[in-house]
Chain A
């Protein structure tokens, strides 16, 4: 058994009493929520696990992405769009409080197609997506090879074009997580690592979280513990069907900035490194493993997109676990047993960060989720199956 750190090593709390709001989970979702909560109430805490947690937020690709999202659930298209619109405000607030720039660039994004067949399927998919009744509308178009070449010099001979939308962009997810945690320090949010929650009880209108370092109390709580929400959700009477979906990423060495506009699976960071990503595997909790078949496929596609990348060395590769709900859409819900308890989980912790901070957090403070996000309630999973 691993011993928990001695009490004196544990983060000192600024606030000794009952918190106004408390987030369980210190990743991008939990941190964005806590940041948002703190703009509305005085005493906020974040309970986090240690480094052994499955850290989806440390393995992120960092897209602030709209195109392709919302097939089968137009409300998700709207929600995503609302977050990308709030992102500049979110980044500006973070910069104002912390002095840190999170590398937000919203100058458009691309989805490359490498054959005529892919070109046709992409056009058909985007049309079908945006033709859904009630779907959010944004500017997009299919660029042919020549148009794409004007935008992205250096594309390979197999590239037939790309779908482009103005609303897509990127941020730097590591800088973002750092900025959020810096904001905690500046604004006296109690970030408490090594505080896995063993139990949640509701007594006299107050939630009591049992942790290895004692009980932490709060008037409102929101579960944002990714895959941990499955277990914690039950304690507030919510069934939260999420599963791990592994993604692998290849990192290339830093080079002078060449790719100004990101592809969904290939981007160059603000400081010059390249990320190649977007694999999806159902591989359980094995986030310590990368495998050549997937990495080779990722690399192959990247090199076909921009052949010059052949000369650029790989410096790292990693895998991380997306938090995938049963239908792939986010889950936001409130407990019907305990007023003041909420859950939030999604696999787009970067794209949706602005909405989490600036929209969900005020709803939690107010005690009610707004009707426009009822589509994301867990009730959608509780439909009786047809015989």
Chain B
């Protein structure tokens, strides 16, 4: 559905940043947001809603809609569109609700 523009794709090849998405290694570009990496790797749904388990994916891409919540480096409820990738980052689909241990 989404693909990178040629210059961006060239930059990924030239100077890749490696992260994992659901355990699979993905090459991306410096300055990519987590949500754009999900799209670029063909992942449209990044979480399941806590109430009804409906799949959801990034929507507004600007920090407002909270639909792009993912686990990043084991921290749940992170807004994928507001976090920039870092080498070695672990991005995982978020299922159900974040737990706060008392």
Contacts and interface: CB of A to CB of B under 8 A. Distances in A.
Contact of B50 (A154, A272, A312, A315): A272
B65 to A, nearest CB: 11
A253 B102 contact: no
A272 B100 CA distance: 11
Interface string A168-207: 0000000000000000000000000000000000000000
Given A271-B51, A308-B101, A313 B77 contact: yes
Interface stretch (B9-17, B19-27, B91-99): B91-99
Most chain B CB inside 10 Å of its own CB: which residue of A255, A308, A312, A315: A255
Q: Which range contains the number of B residues in contact with the other chain?
A: 10 to 19
Given A256-B97, A258-B102, A312-B100, 13 more contacts: A154-B100, A253-B98, A254-B50, A254-B98, A255-B97, A256-B96, A256-B99, A271-B50, A272-B50, A308-B100, A308-B101, A311-B100, A312-B98
B66 interface: yes
Nearest to B77: A253
B21 to A, nearest CB: 22
A95 interface: no
Contact of B97 (A153, A254, A309): A254
B60 to A, nearest CB: 13
Majority secondary structure, B binding face: loop
Nearest to A253: B77
B101 to A, nearest CB: 7
Looking at B50, B98, B100, B102, which has the most chain A CB atoms within 10 Å of its CB? B100
26 contacts: A153-B102, A154-B100, A253-B66, A254-B50, A254-B77, A254-B97, A255-B77, A255-B98, A255-B99, A255-B100, A256-B50, A256-B96, A256-B97, A256-B98, A256-B99, A258-B100, A258-B102, A271-B50, A272-B50, A272-B97, A308-B102, A309-B100, A311-B100, A312-B98, A313-B77, A315-B66
Contacts of B100: 154, 255-256, 258, 308-309, 311-312
Contacts of A255: 77, 97-100
Interface in A297-329: 306, 308-309, 311-313, 315
B18 to A, nearest CB: 27
Interface centre among B50, B99, B102, by most A CB within 10 Å?
B102
A295 B3 CA distance: 42
Interface string B60-102: 0000001000000000010000000000000000001111111
A308 B101 CA distance: 7
A259 to B, nearest CB: 9
A253 B79 CA distance: 11
Contacts of A315: 66
A79 to B, nearest CB: 35
A312 B77 CA distance: 9
Interface in B26-49: none
A272 B96 CA distance: 11
Nearest to A268: B100
Nearest to B99: A256
A154 B102 contact: yes
B17 to A, nearest CB: 25
